[in-house]
Chain A
């Protein structure tokens, strides 16, 4: 099982934080509490994950558990890639 934490962290830190701000996140930081991911941000994050990892994420899978932290996102991607076989 590959650990995608750094790839995902890099996208979130560089692309999702407010333009011009530098953020450093730990894998367990709450992306929602820190205001990094909002309802629109989730859509951008999903578009990125689908493209980067070649997975299809169903609307029913867009639940907070999968997007609360970088670790949760990485775990979810591993699950999706595993399911893809």
Chain B
């Protein structure tokens, strides 16, 4: 692995994350994947290691480090960790719950929720998608009606990462139906609030150790002080979350691509057919050359956008381009790696088929590939 844009300290975080994953997260990963089992102990160890608190303020128990350090750590985890569902679960917790509470929360909300989210005692996520509102998320039906000092939330959400295990979710709901996207607000909803319930984990193709599920809100009572940001700022909060997630979460994909590439080079050198190493066949070596190209371009895009976010800059276009390119590159590289390994790649004994199943989800969550292209086109004035 080479990562020239990291400082020596950031590089150290990446190395430590790799060691940590091999030692503490990988044992039993295959079995958990088969069973679709969340790794509670692994979550606790990640929290002890400091992963949810890397960029969080020290006053709440975080490490107070910069975005690039978080990216370096995620790259290391993506490279070495075989429980990618756990990584995805952690990333959702960080970028779609903890980080928006830190950026948009009142001092009271930060004090109440950040220490638990950082220590891992609390698990979080966000709930936007509804059965009838996916890519067109702002056409949601979920309503929040003000009643005295509280809101009553009614509606349902689906495909919510961490919903079956979450202690709190950032729920988006319509507070003013006449204003479209500008009438949406965000609420910090605790699992114990009356009227809140979560369904059983949904079966998915990949990321199987990450619990994903439905959320039901039936006259769910949310105190006014749990509204995050002003009424009507839900869209801004959501867009900001997505920008952060697109800028940082995909570091784990980059790490995974680096690992896959190394394995392909190694295999193409040692696997012999027709009396020579398969890497000597141009159709194999060119495939690997293209994998290298996509990995390096992914690194450039990811580090550029993470650098922008680290510097406090806005990056809606850059984060959409990075997300699109990295997620599609990961699918392509995972598919090529499987092909290069032949039947061994197809076998569930190795990780190649799992990588491919996990990779596909990246083209859907955080806004589909098509939606990223729409964002890019819109910034071009189309």
Contact = CB atoms under 8 A, between A and B. Distances in A.
B138 A59 contact: no
Overall SS of chain A's interface: helix
A63 B240 CA distance: 13
Contacts of A15: 381
B contact residues, range: 20 to 34
Contacts of B138: 38-39
B236 A42 contact: yes
Interface in A21-39: 32, 38-39
A32 B103 contact: no
B316 A43 contact: yes
A40 interface: yes
Nearest to A40: B378
A42 B235 contact: yes
Contact of B381 (A19, A56, A57): A19
Interface string A41-81: 11110110010000011011011100110000000000000
B235 A39 contact: yes
Interface string B156-194: 000000000000000000000001111100000000000
A62 B233 CA distance: 7
B35 interface: no
Contacts of B316: 43, 47
A64 B182 contact: yes
B356 to A, nearest CB: 31
B229 interface: yes
Interface of B: 103-104, 138, 179-183, 229-230, 232-233, 235-240, 312, 314, 316-317, 374-375, 378-379, 381-382
Interface of A: 15, 19, 32, 38-44, 46-47, 50, 56-57, 59-60, 62-64, 67-68
30 contacts: A19-B381, A19-B382, A32-B179, A32-B180, A32-B181, A38-B180, A38-B181, A39-B138, A40-B375, A40-B378, A41-B378, A42-B181, A42-B235, A42-B236, A43-B239, A46-B314, A47-B317, A57-B314, A59-B103, A59-B237, A60-B104, A60-B233, A60-B236, A62-B236, A62-B239, A63-B236, A64-B182, A64-B232, A67-B182, A68-B182
